[in-house]
Amino acid sequence: MGSLLLVLLLLLLSPSYPRGGSARRRRGARTQSPGGRSHPPFWVRVSPDFKAVPLGGSLWLNCSSSCPLPEGSSLRTELRRGETLSGPRWVAYQLLDVRAWSSDVHCFVTCAGETRGATARITAYKQPSSVILEPPVLTGSDYTLRCHVTHVFPVRFFVVTLRRGGRVIYSESLERFTGLDLANVTLTYLLPSRPGDSGQPVTCHARLNLDGQVVLSSSSPVTLPVPAWSPVSKALASTSIAGCVGIFLLVGALCLRKYLSMQPPA
């Protein structure tokens, strides 16, 4: 009996004897890499995450991650793809002939059996082919201003602004145009005439703001015309001038007669 107790005591004191903590260590080992370090959560980034390109243009997207040993990467998009370049922890994808107004591009990276992704938004736009402001026409007491913006896309994100001498006199958003095709837009505005307006320069501006990327096109300046005299106005002006001349002549004649009456006889 004494010998049996001694054997059991030696087994308990042996470092190779399995204890409860060893099972936890074995479970933890399954989450470690072969080098003994566990894989932390990794991130995936795509750059740029937003890009506006001219209609039919192309761009490069860079997909990167913090994974030390990526097992693979992929890109999911309906846009036309071109070349692909790669390096440590990154892959660059070329997208060609972008014509869709708005497209989501998804980049995926797999690391240690886990797949994560990031998304970029690609937008296409068309700068106006021309912005033309017709010569203003004065009808009654209003100037008619007509601005033509040609071949724009997408129309609903444009704002057309009229300026007189550098100051905004009218601005209108074209958000009511919901089509996604190339279009021509004509804006007509009646500007009440004021003293001093004649000879002032007026310009038309088309502005597109895509998440901070601004596209601006402007017309050549035109000059507000001098108001034309109507026949009635001309007759009234002539009558007024004739009346003034007659008054001056009468006053002159009275002064001369008074002067002569005050002279002594010769």
Q: What is the DSSP string of 185-254?
A: EEEEEEEE--TT-TT-EEEEEEEEEETTEEEEEEPPPEEPPPPPPPHHHHHHHHHHHHHHHHHHHHHHHH
CA distances from 65 to 41, 71, 126, 234 (A): 11, 11, 34, 81
Q: Residue 239: its pLDDT value, please?
A: 57
Cα–Cα distance for residue pair 64/116, rounded to 1 Å: 11
Handedness of CA 68, 72, 76, 80 (dihedral sign): positive
**Torsion of Cα atoms, 160 then 165 then 169 then 175, to 10°:** 10
DSSP 8-state class, residue 99:
-
Same domain, 115 and 142: no
> What's the number of domains the chain is made of?
2
Q: Which residue has the higher pLDDT, 59 or 259?
A: 59
Q: Residue 229: its pLDDT value, please?
A: 45
Q: Residue 113: its pLDDT value, please?
A: 92
Same domain, 140 and 64: no
Share of the chain above pLDDT 70, in %: 70
Decide if 120 contacts 96 (C-beta within 8 A).
no
Same domain, 196 and 116: no
Predicted confidence band at 19 (pLDDT cuts at 50, 70, 90)?
very low
Q: Find out whether the peptide bond into 54 is cis, omega within 30 degrees of 0.
A: no
CA distances from 215 to 50, 139, 146 (A): 16, 34, 21
Decide if 67 contacts 41 (C-beta within 8 A).
no
Same domain, 219 and 149: yes
Evaluate if residue 263 carries a pLDDT over 90: no
Same domain, 136 and 215: yes
Mean pLDDT (whole number) for 158-175: 91
Q: How far is CA 26 from the centre of its chain?
A: 57
For the stretch 204-233, pLDDT in tens is: 999 988 877 788 899 999 999 876 544 444
Same domain, 119 and 175: no
Q: Which residue has the higher pLDDT, 21 or 256?
A: 256
**Residue-range definition of the domain harbouring residue 104:** 44-125
Q: Which residue has the higher pLDDT, 166 or 44?
A: 44
Same domain, 166 and 143: yes
Same domain, 120 and 148: no
Beta-strand relationship, 114-125 and 183-192: unpaired
Mean pLDDT (whole number) for 115-131: 93
Same domain, 111 and 71: yes
Q: Residue 10: its pLDDT value, please?
A: 42
Last residue of a domain, one of 83, 99, 125: 125
- pTM score above 0.85: no
Mean pLDDT (whole number) for 80-102: 93
Evaluate if residue 46 carries a pLDDT over 90: yes
**What are the φ/ψ torsions at residue 265 (nearest 5 degrees)?**
-65, 150
Read off the CATH number of the domain in which 89 is found: 2.60.40.10
